[in-house]
Amino acid sequence: MTKTYIFGHKNPDTDAISSALIMADFEHQTGNADATAYRLGEVGPETQYALDYFKVEAPELLTDDLTDQHVILVDHNEAQQSADSIQNATVQHVIDHHRIANFETAAPLYYRAEPVGCTATILYKMYKERGFEIKPEIAGLMISGIISDSLLFKSPTCTEEDVQAAEDLKSIADVDLESYGLDMLKAGASTTDKSEADIINMDAKTFDMGDYKTRIAQVNTVDIDEVFERRDALEKEMLEVSADEKYDLFVLLVTDIINSDSKVLVVGAEKDKVGTAFDVELDNGTAFLPGVVSRKKQVVPQITDALK
Protein backbone atom coordinates (compact mmCIF):
# COMPACT_ATOMS: atom_id res chain seq x y z
CA MET A 1 0.00 0.00 0.00
CA THR A 2 1.29 3.49 -0.87
CA LYS A 3 2.21 5.63 2.11
CA THR A 4 -0.09 8.57 2.84
CA TYR A 5 1.42 11.76 4.27
CA ILE A 6 -0.88 13.81 6.51
CA PHE A 7 0.06 17.29 7.70
CA GLY A 8 -1.16 20.77 8.55
CA HIS A 9 0.30 24.13 7.60
CA LYS A 10 3.78 25.56 8.12
CA ASN A 11 4.45 27.07 11.57
CA PRO A 12 1.87 24.63 12.92
CA ASP A 13 -0.50 25.58 15.72
CA THR A 14 -2.34 23.19 18.01
CA ASP A 15 -5.15 22.53 15.51
CA ALA A 16 -2.67 21.76 12.69
CA ILE A 17 -0.68 19.28 14.78
CA SER A 18 -3.72 17.73 16.46
CA SER A 19 -5.69 17.40 13.23
CA ALA A 20 -2.81 15.58 11.51
CA LEU A 21 -2.66 13.06 14.36
CA ILE A 22 -6.44 12.71 14.46
CA MET A 23 -6.71 12.23 10.70
CA ALA A 24 -4.01 9.55 10.79
CA ASP A 25 -6.05 7.67 13.41
CA PHE A 26 -9.18 8.13 11.26
CA GLU A 27 -7.39 6.70 8.23
CA HIS A 28 -6.15 3.73 10.25
CA GLN A 29 -9.75 2.95 11.16
CA THR A 30 -10.66 2.98 7.45
CA GLY A 31 -7.95 0.37 6.84
CA ASN A 32 -5.22 2.69 5.59
CA ALA A 33 -2.49 1.42 7.91
CA ASP A 34 0.26 3.39 6.13
CA ALA A 35 -1.25 6.82 6.80
CA THR A 36 1.25 8.84 8.86
CA ALA A 37 1.00 12.23 10.54
CA TYR A 38 3.78 14.77 9.98
CA ARG A 39 4.45 18.39 10.91
CA LEU A 40 5.88 21.27 8.88
CA GLY A 41 7.58 23.11 11.73
CA GLU A 42 8.46 23.13 15.39
CA VAL A 43 5.93 22.25 18.08
CA GLY A 44 4.99 25.31 20.16
CA PRO A 45 4.70 25.23 23.96
CA GLU A 46 0.90 25.33 23.89
CA THR A 47 0.76 22.32 21.59
CA GLN A 48 3.43 20.51 23.58
CA TYR A 49 1.35 21.01 26.72
CA ALA A 50 -1.57 19.25 25.04
CA LEU A 51 0.61 16.42 23.71
CA ASP A 52 2.19 15.88 27.11
CA TYR A 53 -1.16 16.02 28.92
CA PHE A 54 -2.67 13.32 26.72
CA LYS A 55 0.60 11.37 26.38
CA VAL A 56 0.82 11.62 22.60
CA GLU A 57 4.08 11.79 20.65
CA ALA A 58 4.53 14.75 18.31
CA PRO A 59 4.49 13.93 14.59
CA GLU A 60 7.81 13.61 12.81
CA LEU A 61 9.11 16.68 10.95
CA LEU A 62 8.46 16.25 7.24
CA THR A 63 11.65 16.29 5.17
CA ASP A 64 10.69 13.93 2.32
CA ASP A 65 10.19 15.03 -1.26
CA LEU A 66 6.47 14.57 -1.92
CA THR A 67 6.75 14.13 -5.68
CA ASP A 68 4.18 11.49 -6.72
CA GLN A 69 3.35 10.79 -3.08
CA HIS A 70 -0.19 10.59 -1.69
CA VAL A 71 -1.06 13.47 0.63
CA ILE A 72 -3.91 14.52 2.92
CA LEU A 73 -3.97 18.19 3.92
CA VAL A 74 -5.54 19.28 7.18
CA ASP A 75 -6.16 22.82 8.47
CA HIS A 76 -4.94 24.49 5.25
CA ASN A 77 -5.14 24.40 1.49
CA GLU A 78 -3.07 27.35 0.21
CA ALA A 79 0.14 26.19 -1.47
CA GLN A 80 2.35 28.84 0.14
CA GLN A 81 1.34 27.54 3.57
CA SER A 82 2.04 23.91 2.69
CA ALA A 83 5.05 21.67 2.07
CA ASP A 84 7.57 22.98 -0.44
CA SER A 85 6.99 20.08 -2.85
CA ILE A 86 3.20 20.03 -2.52
CA GLN A 87 2.68 20.96 -6.19
CA ASN A 88 4.22 17.62 -7.20
CA ALA A 89 2.16 15.50 -4.80
CA THR A 90 -1.16 13.78 -5.33
CA VAL A 91 -3.59 15.42 -2.92
CA GLN A 92 -6.25 12.88 -2.06
CA HIS A 93 -8.19 14.67 0.64
CA VAL A 94 -8.45 18.10 2.27
CA ILE A 95 -10.16 18.85 5.60
CA ASP A 96 -10.13 22.56 6.36
CA HIS A 97 -12.02 25.51 7.82
CA HIS A 98 -10.24 28.37 6.01
CA ARG A 99 -10.82 30.23 2.77
CA ILE A 100 -9.94 28.34 -0.43
CA ALA A 101 -7.17 30.10 -2.38
CA ASN A 102 -4.34 29.19 -4.75
CA PHE A 103 -5.45 25.56 -4.79
CA GLU A 104 -5.87 23.24 -7.74
CA THR A 105 -5.23 19.59 -8.46
CA ALA A 106 -4.76 17.45 -11.55
CA ALA A 107 -7.27 14.85 -10.41
CA PRO A 108 -10.50 14.76 -8.41
CA LEU A 109 -10.26 14.50 -4.64
CA TYR A 110 -12.30 14.50 -1.47
CA TYR A 111 -12.53 18.08 -0.20
CA ARG A 112 -14.34 18.98 3.00
CA ALA A 113 -14.38 22.60 4.13
CA GLU A 114 -16.84 23.94 6.66
CA PRO A 115 -17.27 27.40 8.23
CA VAL A 116 -16.57 26.25 11.78
CA GLY A 117 -13.93 27.41 14.23
CA CYS A 118 -11.60 24.45 14.02
CA THR A 119 -10.59 21.57 11.75
CA ALA A 120 -10.84 19.20 14.72
CA THR A 121 -14.58 19.94 14.86
CA ILE A 122 -14.99 18.68 11.31
CA LEU A 123 -12.96 15.58 12.13
CA TYR A 124 -15.17 14.92 15.15
CA LYS A 125 -18.20 14.96 12.83
CA MET A 126 -16.44 12.56 10.46
CA TYR A 127 -15.84 10.09 13.30
CA LYS A 128 -19.50 10.28 14.30
CA GLU A 129 -20.68 9.80 10.72
CA ARG A 130 -18.60 6.64 10.34
CA GLY A 131 -19.26 5.34 13.84
CA PHE A 132 -15.53 5.23 14.56
CA GLU A 133 -14.11 4.88 18.07
CA ILE A 134 -12.83 8.11 19.63
CA LYS A 135 -10.11 7.13 22.07
CA PRO A 136 -9.45 9.38 25.11
CA GLU A 137 -6.24 10.80 23.66
CA ILE A 138 -7.94 11.55 20.34
CA ALA A 139 -10.79 13.27 22.19
CA GLY A 140 -8.18 15.29 24.08
CA LEU A 141 -6.49 16.38 20.87
CA MET A 142 -9.85 17.38 19.39
CA ILE A 143 -10.66 19.47 22.47
CA SER A 144 -7.18 21.04 22.42
CA GLY A 145 -7.54 22.12 18.79
CA ILE A 146 -10.99 23.58 19.41
CA ILE A 147 -9.90 25.50 22.52
CA SER A 148 -6.78 26.80 20.78
CA ASP A 149 -8.53 28.05 17.64
CA SER A 150 -11.50 29.47 19.54
CA LEU A 151 -9.45 30.98 22.38
CA LEU A 152 -11.56 29.02 24.85
CA PHE A 153 -14.78 29.75 22.91
CA LYS A 154 -14.24 33.55 22.89
CA SER A 155 -13.27 33.99 19.24
CA PRO A 156 -15.91 35.17 16.75
CA THR A 157 -14.95 32.18 14.60
CA CYS A 158 -16.30 29.84 17.29
CA THR A 159 -19.61 28.24 16.36
CA GLU A 160 -22.19 26.24 18.29
CA GLU A 161 -20.82 23.16 16.57
CA ASP A 162 -17.39 23.79 18.10
CA VAL A 163 -18.84 24.29 21.57
CA GLN A 164 -21.04 21.21 21.30
CA ALA A 165 -18.16 19.07 20.04
CA ALA A 166 -16.02 20.06 23.02
CA GLU A 167 -18.91 19.38 25.39
CA ASP A 168 -19.46 15.95 23.84
CA LEU A 169 -15.78 15.08 24.06
CA LYS A 170 -14.93 16.27 27.57
CA SER A 171 -16.16 13.12 29.31
CA ILE A 172 -14.17 10.90 26.93
CA ALA A 173 -11.02 12.96 27.50
CA ASP A 174 -11.84 13.35 31.21
CA VAL A 175 -11.09 17.08 31.40
CA ASP A 176 -12.74 20.22 32.67
CA LEU A 177 -12.89 22.47 29.62
CA GLU A 178 -12.39 25.76 31.45
CA SER A 179 -9.48 24.77 33.68
CA TYR A 180 -7.69 22.62 31.11
CA GLY A 181 -8.23 25.20 28.38
CA LEU A 182 -6.89 28.09 30.40
CA ASP A 183 -3.84 26.09 31.48
CA MET A 184 -3.12 25.09 27.89
CA LEU A 185 -3.47 28.64 26.54
CA LYS A 186 -1.27 30.04 29.32
CA ALA A 187 1.40 27.44 28.52
CA GLY A 188 1.85 29.08 25.13
CA ALA A 189 1.35 32.67 26.22
CA SER A 190 4.70 33.66 27.76
CA THR A 191 7.09 35.44 25.38
CA THR A 192 9.92 36.24 27.79
CA ASP A 193 11.93 33.18 26.72
CA LYS A 194 11.37 33.73 23.00
CA SER A 195 13.55 35.65 20.56
CA GLU A 196 12.14 38.28 18.20
CA ALA A 197 12.47 35.73 15.39
CA ASP A 198 10.49 33.21 17.43
CA ILE A 199 7.70 35.70 18.11
CA ILE A 200 7.16 36.70 14.50
CA ASN A 201 7.43 33.16 13.12
CA MET A 202 5.83 30.77 15.61
CA ASP A 203 2.30 31.31 14.20
CA ALA A 204 2.69 33.15 10.92
CA LYS A 205 1.04 32.64 7.54
CA THR A 206 1.65 34.13 4.12
CA PHE A 207 -1.29 35.34 2.02
CA ASP A 208 -1.52 36.49 -1.57
CA MET A 209 -3.82 39.51 -1.43
CA GLY A 210 -4.27 40.80 -4.94
CA ASP A 211 -0.88 42.06 -6.06
CA TYR A 212 0.52 42.00 -2.53
CA LYS A 213 2.38 39.28 -0.67
CA THR A 214 1.33 39.68 2.96
CA ARG A 215 2.69 37.99 6.07
CA ILE A 216 0.43 37.93 9.13
CA ALA A 217 1.81 36.60 12.41
CA GLN A 218 -0.14 36.18 15.62
CA VAL A 219 1.12 35.67 19.15
CA ASN A 220 -1.14 35.00 22.12
CA THR A 221 -0.19 36.49 25.46
CA VAL A 222 -1.56 37.49 28.84
CA ASP A 223 0.42 40.75 28.72
CA ILE A 224 0.51 42.79 25.50
CA ASP A 225 2.96 45.26 27.02
CA GLU A 226 5.43 42.43 27.63
CA VAL A 227 5.66 41.98 23.86
CA PHE A 228 5.66 45.67 22.91
CA GLU A 229 8.53 46.46 25.25
CA ARG A 230 10.55 44.89 22.41
CA ARG A 231 8.83 46.90 19.69
CA ASP A 232 12.00 48.27 18.03
CA ALA A 233 13.69 44.87 17.93
CA LEU A 234 10.54 43.23 16.57
CA GLU A 235 10.18 45.87 13.86
CA LYS A 236 13.83 45.39 12.84
CA GLU A 237 13.33 41.63 12.58
CA MET A 238 10.13 42.06 10.56
CA LEU A 239 11.82 44.44 8.13
CA GLU A 240 14.75 42.07 7.62
CA VAL A 241 12.47 39.10 6.98
CA SER A 242 10.32 41.17 4.63
CA ALA A 243 13.38 42.14 2.61
CA ASP A 244 14.58 38.53 2.39
CA GLU A 245 11.17 37.02 1.55
CA LYS A 246 9.85 39.93 -0.54
CA TYR A 247 6.82 40.59 1.64
CA ASP A 248 4.97 43.78 0.73
CA LEU A 249 3.37 43.90 4.17
CA PHE A 250 4.15 42.26 7.51
CA VAL A 251 1.55 42.40 10.29
CA LEU A 252 2.16 41.17 13.83
CA LEU A 253 -1.06 40.66 15.80
CA VAL A 254 -0.48 40.46 19.55
CA THR A 255 -3.60 39.04 21.21
CA ASP A 256 -4.56 39.25 24.88
CA ILE A 257 -6.21 35.87 25.56
CA ILE A 258 -7.73 37.05 28.83
CA ASN A 259 -9.38 40.30 27.70
CA SER A 260 -9.92 39.34 24.03
CA ASP A 261 -8.22 42.39 22.51
CA SER A 262 -5.22 42.81 20.22
CA LYS A 263 -2.55 45.30 19.25
CA VAL A 264 -0.82 45.32 15.86
CA LEU A 265 2.63 46.20 14.69
CA VAL A 266 2.89 46.77 10.94
CA VAL A 267 5.79 47.27 8.54
CA GLY A 268 5.82 47.72 4.78
CA ALA A 269 5.09 50.31 2.14
CA GLU A 270 1.35 49.67 2.35
CA LYS A 271 1.12 49.72 6.15
CA ASP A 272 -1.28 52.68 6.21
CA LYS A 273 -3.85 50.46 4.48
CA VAL A 274 -3.90 48.31 7.61
CA GLY A 275 -5.12 51.38 9.45
CA THR A 276 -7.77 51.79 6.78
CA ALA A 277 -8.77 48.14 7.18
CA PHE A 278 -9.59 48.69 10.86
CA ASP A 279 -10.68 52.33 10.63
CA VAL A 280 -7.85 53.44 12.93
CA GLU A 281 -4.79 55.64 12.53
CA LEU A 282 -1.51 53.83 13.04
CA ASP A 283 0.77 55.43 15.61
CA ASN A 284 4.36 54.61 14.68
CA GLY A 285 3.12 51.47 12.95
CA THR A 286 0.94 50.32 15.84
CA ALA A 287 -2.74 50.39 16.79
CA PHE A 288 -4.95 48.89 19.48
CA LEU A 289 -7.80 46.74 18.14
CA PRO A 290 -10.46 46.14 20.80
CA GLY A 291 -12.33 42.86 20.41
CA VAL A 292 -10.11 41.60 17.57
CA VAL A 293 -8.78 38.10 18.22
CA SER A 294 -9.29 36.10 15.02
CA ARG A 295 -6.79 36.36 12.18
CA LYS A 296 -9.05 34.33 9.90
CA LYS A 297 -12.26 36.31 10.41
CA GLN A 298 -11.25 39.72 11.76
CA VAL A 299 -7.90 40.41 10.09
CA VAL A 300 -7.33 38.61 6.77
CA PRO A 301 -10.63 39.65 5.06
CA GLN A 302 -10.32 43.28 6.25
CA ILE A 303 -6.75 43.70 5.05
CA THR A 304 -7.53 41.90 1.79
CA ASP A 305 -10.33 44.39 1.08
CA ALA A 306 -8.14 47.35 1.99
CA LEU A 307 -5.41 46.26 -0.40
CA LYS A 308 -7.75 45.90 -3.38
Q: Which amino acid is at 86?
A: I
9 is in an annotated binding site: yes
**DSSP state at residue 190:** -
75 is in an annotated binding site: yes
Three-state secondary structure call for residue 182: helix
According to DSSP H, which parts of 131-176 are helical? 136-150, 160-173
Pairing of strands 35-39, 60-61: parallel
168 is in an annotated binding site: no
Q: Residue 207 to residues 2, 115, 244, 295: CA-CA distances in angstroms?
A: 32, 19, 16, 12
Q: Which amino acid is at 147?
A: I
97 is in an annotated binding site: yes
70 is in an annotated binding site: no
According to DSSP H, which parts of the chain are helical? 14-30, 45-53, 119-130, 136-150, 160-173, 177-187, 196-201, 224-228, 231-245, 272-278, 295-298, 300-307
Strand partners, 267: 250
Residues annotated within the binding site are: 9, 13, 15, 75, 97, 149
* Binding-site residue positions for Mn(2+): 9, 13, 15, 75, 97, 149
